[in-house]
Amino acid sequence: MSDGHTGPTAGGEIVVSGLTKQYRNVKAVDNLSFRVQPGRVTGFLGPNGAGKTTTLRMLLNLVTPTAGTATIDGRRYPDLKQPLRTVGALLEASSAHKGRTGINHLRVICAASGLPKRRADETLAMVGLSPAAKRKFKGYSLGMKQRLGIAAAMLGDPKVLVLDEPANGLDPEGIRWMRGFLKGLAAEGRTVLVSSHLLSEMQLLADDVVIIAAGKLVRQGTVDEVLGSMTTGARIRVRTPHPDQLAKALTEQNAQVQRGEDGLLLVEGNDAAFVGRVALAAQVELHELTPERPDLERVFLELTSGKAVIR
């Protein structure tokens, strides 16, 4: 809708509708629509150049859409009555005045935005940076800078968090911390939208995923739905001392079977119960029968194959 109001929505829902951004030569975002629910972590995934950053910047009114709308809590960003209390954002490795201490960086933002000064101390504690409060920004590690950026995003106690590649450059400990922190925010009922190309990380972090490629929606759903919808990715590992006999029986039932080492068979497109039944009917002893869940990495490559163009 053009007046910036899309009617009542549950607190903190993000609604992207027909969003499009045409740069001179590139359609960075192409008629994109999706919804992001509160109380959940949503992974916003896509290959390089897919249009993730452009979408998030349109959501935050930093880039003007060519067409379509993006609303937070039912309003476009410029129409939010209290933007910092509604949405907090981390767009890139946060920058701050090099000679300023972490705590002063946050206090400056509080002063400029009419937020109480105590929020600087509270959010610094929230991200575990209190011990480094009085150290200068230029001495912060990348991980500390990311934490400070998150503290800044949390100053207004927003119900919506939008983070562009927050795990970039973090070490495994930093990534683990980030995961716990973001899950905690969602558990408090906040909306957490996180862009990433680290798909394995998203599988551990996200409840829902929105996958885009070349500016277009490729798939949206819960992580389980998206993984479960990929029949080609689902395989059953079967181990038997009689692989020839079992492979023959399975192939006769039109199953696709790949041979591995040590009597291993990989069966595609069927479930474990099917494989067990065929083995029983063929009187073949089984030493292993394991459904292999497709991982998000494989699903992602399959869904976006051919669209991961470097533009």
Ligand X SMILES: Nc1ncnc2c1ncn2[C@@H]1O[C@H](COP(=O)(O)OP(=O)(O)OP(=O)(O)O)[C@@H](O)[C@H]1O
Q: Interface with ligand X includes 311 (CB under 6 A)? A: yes
Cβ-based nearer residue to ligand X, 33 or 130: 33
Stretch that binds ligand X, among 49-57, 79-87, 242-250, 256-264 (CB under 6 A): 49-57
Q: Interface with ligand X includes 65 (CB under 6 A)? A: no
Q: Interface with ligand X includes 240 (CB under 6 A)? A: no
Q: Interface with ligand X includes 51 (CB under 6 A)? A: yes
Q: Interface with ligand X includes 54 (CB under 6 A)? A: yes
User: Residue 198: CA atoms inside 13 Å, Cβ hemisphere, count?
Assistant: 16
Burial readout 274-307 (b: 16 or more C-beta within 10 A, e: otherwise): ebeebbeebebebeebeeebbebeebbeebbeeb
Alpha-carbon distance of 269 to 224, in angstroms, equals 17
- State the minimum distance, in angstroms, from the CB of residue 44 to ligand X: 9
- State the minimum distance, in angstroms, from the CB of residue 162 to ligand X: 13
Cβ-based nearer residue to ligand X, 23 or 67: 23
The residues that bridge with 27 in the sheet, in sequence order, are 22
Alpha-carbon distance of 159 to 104, in angstroms, equals 24
Please give the residues from 155 up to 214 whose contact with ligand X meets the rule CB under 6 A: 197
Cβ-based nearer residue to ligand X, 214 or 257: 214
Report whether 148 contacts 94 (CB < 8 A): yes
Alpha-carbon distance of 306 to 309, in angstroms, equals 7
- State the minimum distance, in angstroms, from the CB of residue 36 to ligand X: 16
Applying CB under 6 A, which of residues 38, 49, 156, 158 lies at the interface with ligand X? 49
Stretch that binds ligand X, among 50-58, 71-79, 99-107, 286-294 (CB under 6 A): 50-58
Please give the residues from 6 up to 35 whose contact with ligand X meets the rule CB under 6 A: 23, 26, 28
Applying CB under 6 A, which of residues 10, 18, 48, 225 lies at the interface with ligand X? 48
Cβ-based nearer residue to ligand X, 56 or 227: 56
C-alpha of 303 from chain center: 16
Alpha-carbon distance of 136 to 96, in angstroms, equals 10
In degrees and rounded to multiples of 5, residue 20 shows phi and psi of -140, 135
Report whether 196 contacts 165 (CB < 8 A): yes
Q: How many residues bind ligand X (CB under 6 A)?
A: 13
Closest CA to 60 of 34, 91, 33: 91
Contact set with ligand X (CB under 6 A): 23, 26, 28, 46, 48-54, 197, 311
